[in-house]
Amino acid sequence: MLSNGEKVEYARRLNSVLDYVDQHLDTSLELDKLAEVAHFSRFHFHRIFAAWMGETLGDYARRRRLETAAWRLSCDRQASVLDIALACGFASGEAFARAFKLRFDCTPSQWRAGSDERRLAQVRAGYENRARHDSNLSQVLSNSDQVNVNGICEDGGSYQPRRKYLMEVNIVQLPAVRVAYQRYIGPYGPGVTEFWRSKVTPWMQVHGLQDQVCYGIGYDDPSVTAADKCRYDACVTITEGFAPGAHANVKTLPGGAYAVAQFNGPATAVNDAWMELMREYLPASGMQCDDRPCFEQFSANSALDLQTGIFSCLLCIPVKAL
């Protein structure tokens, strides 16, 4: 039986492996190299990974290749299906097409053709989920009895925008930023709220990071990835020499061009704003998403007005020209 300290260390090492896999999908992902990244012996690593993740290393790599390819098909309309297949580690277009059809029950081209409809459905589903639960970001440094957040959909009905946010959107060149992150794996929603409250915020306070800029990054599409395998990173900006200890990993969020909008409103209505950006701004902008993650950027100690329930953050969409 592992102690709590051992569990934390295992999670830190295995999260490094997950990051390495995502960054090297176009390579062969040799077992020896991944065991080295995790600092486990080759003999034990495969069994440790399978026990921790609930799937074998081979199954995980295959799933991530297909899910990443699905995302790129949706976001990069200019890249050919073959280019995406090769970038995700498939040896040929034929091998990719067979694996994609088996996983998603459609061809890569059919998947690409339905991208806009799927994206809106995903944002709508996220809105409905958030309408039923507290916002994952609204309670980072607050208790549930401190805030009266307006705008919750009591009947859990279909998406009905309360108002148009009419946010000003600017294309901004954001710098790369070094962050410490803790990873939550599981269904998006209340579990992420509890993760910020019970794990991330206390760690930030211990390390004097409560005044730093934070980022919330959901990497997976719940309509594609099983809920218990969705990944969310709670990130906080750190300096170059900062040592995060055993509870967090360090990485660099990519810089580049982002469509950035300031959101100010009820925390439960953030998905309204995302819907507006995806449905109205992006198609008319001459831009498209690329395969960097979208994120919400905020300051943990000032993002939420405890008196009004107004939440303030930047919604950041990585973009490139059509």
Q: Do 156 and 252 sit in the same domain of this protein?
A: yes
Q: Residue 84 has which token pair?
A: 């995406």
Q: Residue 77 is part of which domain span?
A: 4-113
* Residues 127, 107 share a domain: no
At 76, which CATH number?
1.10.10.60
Q: What's the burial of 173, exposed, middle or buried (CB within 10 Å: 0-12/13-18/19+)?
A: exposed
**Where a domain ends, among 91, 113, 135?**
113
End-to-end, the C-alpha distance of the chain in Å comes to 53
Report pLDDT for 158: 37
The CA-CA-CA angle for residues 170, 171, 177, to 5°, reads 110
Q: What is the DSSP string of 45-92?
A: HHHHHHHHHSS-HHHHHHHHHHHHHHHHHHH-SSS-HHHHHHHTT-S-
| Judgement on whether residues 205 and 186 belong to the same structural domain of the protein | yes
The per-residue pLDDT for 235 is 96
SS3 for 312?
strand
Does 215 lie in the same domain as 66? no
pLDDT in tens, the chain (322 residues): 556 666 788 888 999 999 999 999 999 889 899 999 988 888 788 888 888 888 999 999 999 999 999 988 887 778 899 999 999 999 999 999 999 999 999 999 999 888 767 666 655 555 455 444 444 444 444 443 333 333 323 333 333 444 455 688 999 999 999 999 999 999 887 788 789 889 999 999 999 998 999 999 988 877 788 989 999 999 999 988 888 887 899 999 999 999 999 999 887 677 678 777 877 788 788 888 887 888 999 988 788 787 888 889 999 999 988 7
- Which residues pair with residue 260 across a beta bridge? 170, 316
Q: Do 76 and 188 reside in the same domain of the chain?
A: no
Residue 137 belongs to domain with CATH number? 3.20.80.10
Provide the pLDDT for residue 155. 34
Can you tell me the distance from the alpha carbon of 242 to that of 178, in angstroms, rounded to the nearest whole number?
10
21 and 94 co-located in one domain: yes
Which residues, at least 6 apart from 176, have a Cβ–Cβ distance to it below 8 Å? Answer: 252, 253, 254, 255
DSSP 97-121: HHHHHHHHSS-HHHHHHTHHHHHHH
Q: Which two tokens stand for residue 137?
A: 């970001």
At residue 77, φ and ψ (nearest 5 deg) are -75, -15
Same domain, 160 and 240: yes
Are residues 66 and 207 both part of a single domain?
no
Of 114, 87, 81, the C-alpha closest to 26 is: 87
* Predicted local distance difference test score (pLDDT) of residue 321: 82
Q: Of 113, 146, 181, which residue sits at a domain end?
A: 113
Which residue do the tokens 């990069």 mark?
76
Residues 231 and 103 in one domain: no
For residues 213 and 316, membership in a common domain is answered with yes
d(CA 126, CA 262): 19
Domain count within the chain: 2
Regarding whether 70 and 184 lie in a shared domain, the answer is no
Residue 307 confidence (pLDDT): 83
- Amino acid code (one letter) for 69: A
When computed from its CA atoms, the radius of gyration of the chain, rounded to whole angstroms, is 20
Report the alpha-carbon distance of residue 200 to residue 75 in Å, rounded.
31
Q: For the chain, count helices (H), then strands (E).
A: 12, 9
Question: How is residue 139 annotated by DSSP?
Answer: T
- The pLDDT assigned to 152 comes to 28
- Residue in 218, 299, 291 with CA at minimum distance from that of residue 262: 299
Whether 273 and 173 map to the same domain: the answer is yes
Q: Of 64, 95, 113, at which residue does a domain stop?
A: 113
**Distance (Å, rounded) from C-alpha 180 to C-alpha 248?**
6
CB atoms within 10 A of CB 317: 25
